């Protein structure tokens, strides 16, 4: 795997959309994106990143890829980092998947595209059982996963206190994907 390798690119409404592997030079935009996720309190980014933390986190991403523990995809729109997703090996035979897109590029079909690409990346890791966790209160993510035929496999009731008050369940979901030829 080479840093920055483009996995898929397309045009959407005049914008250039690129899904690619991360690279070290992503650091400044990576920090910006994560701190945006942190500000929004998405599940994927519970911690504010200063430069040192960001360096450690991106190093971790690149190390996981290099050692074959995971595949990460970055979403770039017109040259700007706008989202990320991962498929990480867990246990002997499954992978955990997850993703987050910046607010302004949601609802355009890119989350769905990213999930399908992550399924392909899981195949490259020879993992055909996928697993994820999602807050019951996160309707967009829950709908996306259901659309892609992830099924609920477990639930931790009232696991998260919502900023708006009350609690939300943590839902565990899984899916078996077909083994098809790796591109
Ligand atoms: C969840 C997320 C990745 C979805 O990505 P997206 O690009 O907005 O989704 P898409 O445009 O590809 O939509 C695909 C499907 O997701 C569902 N969906 C997307 N936005 C939705 C919304 N606002 N309300 C309900 N369902 C929604 C729909 O089922 C949609 O299919 P449809 O267009 O046929 O109705 C995105 O909202 C996000 O990054 N959220 C913040 C981070 C996060 O919550 N990550 C998941 C943690 S578990």
Q: What is the DSSP letter of 113?
A: H
Q: How far apart are the C-alpha atoms of 156 and 153, rounded to whole Å?
A: 11
Query: Measured in angstroms, how far is the CA atom of residue 107 from the centroid of ligand 1?
Result: 6
Ligand 1 pocket, CB under 6 A = 42-44, 98-101, 106-112, 134, 138-141, 143-144, 147
Fold of 6-176: Aminopeptidase (3.40.630)
How are beta strands 80-90 and 6-12 bridged, if at all?
unpaired
DSSP string covering 134-160: EETT-HHHHHHHHHTT-EEEEEEEEEE
Q: How far apart are the C-alpha atoms of 26 and 58, rounded to whole Å?
A: 9
For 95-149, how does the pLDDT look when each residue is reduced to its tens digit (9 = 90+)? Answer: 999 999 999 999 999 999 999 999 999 999 999 999 999 999 999 999 999 999 9
Specify the pLDDT at position 56. 96
Size of the chain, expressed as the number of residues it contains: 183
For 26-61, how does the pLDDT look when each residue is reduced to its tens digit (9 = 90+)? Answer: 999 999 999 999 888 766 666 788 999 999 999 999
């Amino acid at each position: 795997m080479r840093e920055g390798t483009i996995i898929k690119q397309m045009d959407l409404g005049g914008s250039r959309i690129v899904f690619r592997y991360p690279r070290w030079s992503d650091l400044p935009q990576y920090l910006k994106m994560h701190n945006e996720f942190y500000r929004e309190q998405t599940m994927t980014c519970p911690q504010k990143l200063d430069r040192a933390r960001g360096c450690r986190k991106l190093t971790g991403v690149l190390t996981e890829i290099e050692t074959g523990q995971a595949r990460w995809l970055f979403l770039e729109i017109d040259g700007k980092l706008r989202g990320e997703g991962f498929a990480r090996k867990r246990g002997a035979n499954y992978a955990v998947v997850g993703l987050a897109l910046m607010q302004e590029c949601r609802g355009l079909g890119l989350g769905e595209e990213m999930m399908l690409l992550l399924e392909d990346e899981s195949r490259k890791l020879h993992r055909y059982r996928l697993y994820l966790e999602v807050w019951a209160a996160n309707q967009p993510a829950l709908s996306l996963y259901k659309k892609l035929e992830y099924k609920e496999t477990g639930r931790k009731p009232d696991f998260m206190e919502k900023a708006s008050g009350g609690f939300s369940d943590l839902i565990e979901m899984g899916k078996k994907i077909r083994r098809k030829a790796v591109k």
